[in-house]
């Protein structure tokens, strides 16, 4: 039995049940021969509401059958979005968790959209993500422990790649619209940044230093000046920088990345321009390059 405001009760047959109010009993008699649309209109006026939640969820079905269909669609949708442990479930070539078939969950999502309940999905989905984020935190701790042991930026590179796997596996389908995707990305990044230890910033700087290191394979025409050139597009790390961007690491550690560039410039000037002020016409163009 559904419970409505002002002590109105609607039985499974779709009729108003007596609740001790003479006005309600009179309303019941007036509605016995009315169509569904007229019924909803009158009840909306009586309850002072522009929309009756229960009837919206009922759709065109009679009695409680529509509500049962919506309940089933909600359960299917939440099971599809549920953030599972990728260490046990695994992911496919597209980074999606195995066992998730959008062709099966699609009709359930469509019903939720028709019932105008899609905006309520993020709250439940993001709460599930909050409860399961410890799964990712466990792996972060493992990778950071290896980094502390080996002091190798390669461990940070492996960690970033693994974080991207989690991000893609838990991401909602783009078919549900940008609102849910944006909310997911923001919450994922917020929880990720709060889970990374302080030592990650130092390791990330070392990783960026190895990625941004210039090549030293040339010299000026007079043979006295080493030429260092940076050409990110020609390097093999563009894919890794895309991962940084997708995970929000570039915005988060912008100052760290900038400091790497400043240090390279300072090192270049000290090595090649010290005492060479008479040849600034040679030094400065190389620095700008």
In which element (H, E) is residue 69 found? helix 65-81
Rounded CA Rg of the chain: 30
Would you place residue 62 in the very low, low, confident or very high pLDDT band (cuts 50, 70, 90)?
A: very low
pLDDT for the residue numbered 16: 39
Is 33 a residue whose pLDDT tops 70?
no
Is 47 a residue whose pLDDT tops 50?
no
108 vs 71: CA distance, rounded Å: 10
Residue with the bigger pLDDT between 150 and 55: it is 150
Q: Which residues contact 187 (CB under 8 A, 6 or more apart)?
A: 126, 129, 130
Is 276 a residue whose pLDDT tops 80?
no
Q: Which residues contact 240 (CB under 8 A, 6 or more apart)?
A: 157, 160, 161, 211
Mean pLDDT for the stretch of residues 211-238: 56
Is 256 a residue whose pLDDT tops 90?
yes
Is 226 a residue whose pLDDT tops 60?
no
In which element (H, E) is residue 237 found? none
The percentage of the chain sitting over the pLDDT mark of 70, rounded to a whole number, equals 63
pLDDT for the residue numbered 262: 85
DSSP 3-state assignment of 229? strand
234 vs 242: CA distance, rounded Å: 15
pLDDT for the residue numbered 275: 66
74 vs 126: CA distance, rounded Å: 15
133 vs 169: CA distance, rounded Å: 13
121 vs 112: CA distance, rounded Å: 9
43 vs 164: CA distance, rounded Å: 51
Would you place residue 35 in the very low, low, confident or very high pLDDT band (cuts 50, 70, 90)?
A: low
243 vs 237: CA distance, rounded Å: 10
126 vs 138: CA distance, rounded Å: 19
139 vs 105: CA distance, rounded Å: 30
For the stretch 136-151, pLDDT in tens is: 999 999 999 999 998 8
DSSP 3-state assignment of 255? helix
**pTM above 0.75?**
no
Average pLDDT over the chain, rounded to an integer: 74
For the stretch 192-219, pLDDT in tens is: 999 999 999 999 999 998 888 776 544 4
70 vs 61: CA distance, rounded Å: 11
Would you place residue 278 in the very low, low, confident or very high pLDDT band (cuts 50, 70, 90)?
A: low
Beta carbons of 149 and 205 less than 8 angstroms apart: no
The DSSP bridge pattern shows strands 215-219 and 16-17 to be: unpaired
For the stretch 178-187, pLDDT in tens is: 888 999 999 9
Whole-Å CA distances, 220 to 60, 127, 232, 265, 268? 80, 60, 22, 18, 14
Beta carbons of 2 and 13 less than 8 angstroms apart: no
């Amino acid at each position: 039995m559904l419970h409505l405001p002002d002590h109105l009760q609607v039985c499974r047959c779709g009729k108003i049940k007596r609740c001790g109010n003479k006005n309600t009993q009179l309303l019941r008699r007036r509605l016995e021969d009315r169509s569904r649309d007229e019924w909803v209109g009158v009840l909306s006026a009586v309850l002072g509401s522009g929309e009756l939640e229960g009837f919206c969820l009922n759709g065109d079905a009679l009695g409680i059958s529509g509500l049962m269909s919506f309940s089933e669609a909600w359960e299917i949708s939440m099971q599809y979005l549920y953030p599972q442990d990728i260490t046990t479930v695994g992911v496919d070539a597209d980074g999606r968790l195995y066992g998730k078939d959008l062709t099966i969950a699609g009709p359930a999502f469509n019903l939720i959209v028709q019932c105008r309940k899609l905006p309520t999905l993020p709250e439940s989905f993001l709460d599930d993500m909050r409860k399961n984020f410890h799964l990712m935190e466990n792996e972060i701790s493992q990778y950071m422990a290896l980094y502390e042991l080996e002091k190798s930026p390669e461990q940070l590179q492996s960690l970033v790649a693994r974080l991207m796997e989690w991000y893609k596996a838990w991401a909602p389908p783009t078919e549900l619209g940008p609102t849910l995707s944006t909310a997911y990305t923001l919450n994922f990044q917020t929880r990720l940044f709060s889970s990374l230890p302080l030592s990650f910033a130092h390791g990330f700087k070392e990783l960026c230093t190895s990625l941004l290191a210039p090549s030293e394979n040339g010299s000026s025409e007079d043979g006295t000046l080493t030429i260092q050139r940076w050409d990110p597009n020609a390097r093999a790390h563009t894919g890794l920088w895309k991962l940084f961007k997708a995970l929000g690491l570039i915005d988060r550690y912008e100052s760290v990345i900038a400091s790497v560039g400043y240090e390279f410039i300072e090192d270049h000037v000290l090595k090649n321009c010290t005492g060479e002020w008479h040849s600034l016409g040679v030094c400065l163009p190389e620095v700008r390059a």
